[in-house]
Amino acid sequence: MAEALRIDQASLIDNERERQVEFTAEVDGEDRDFAVKYSVLKELSGDEPDDDALELFERFSDEIVDVCLEAAAQRPAVSLVTISENDLE
């Protein structure tokens, strides 16, 4: 499994149409694109991420980073690693 994931804070966007937060992160020296579905934010926070998806993402970023690391290791060939509630333990 990858050792570290560093989110490029400048790349964070709230894609309301797709209902996900998107970003680029460096995983062991390689840039990877990620999308975290709103359903993940709702599962972590208990609140529907309507106008505060980026705030919820920041609040639960430690948990999200862990899930993203695991998903990136499991899906090394995908161009966009999409995190859904199924990726939560």
* Token representation of residue 21: 């937060």
Given a contact cutoff of 8 angstroms between Cβ atoms, the answer to whether 15 and 21 are in contact is yes
Q: Tokens 């509630």 — which residue?
A: 85
β 80-83/30-37 pair status:
parallel
The conformation of residue 15, written as its DSSP 8-state character, comes to E
The pLDDT tens digits for 10-34 are: 999 999 999 999 999 999 889 999 9
| Domains contained in the chain, CATH given | 5-87 (3.30.160.140)
Q: Read off the pTM.
A: 0.93
- At 1 the pLDDT is 56
* Rounded CA separation 36/21 (Å): 5
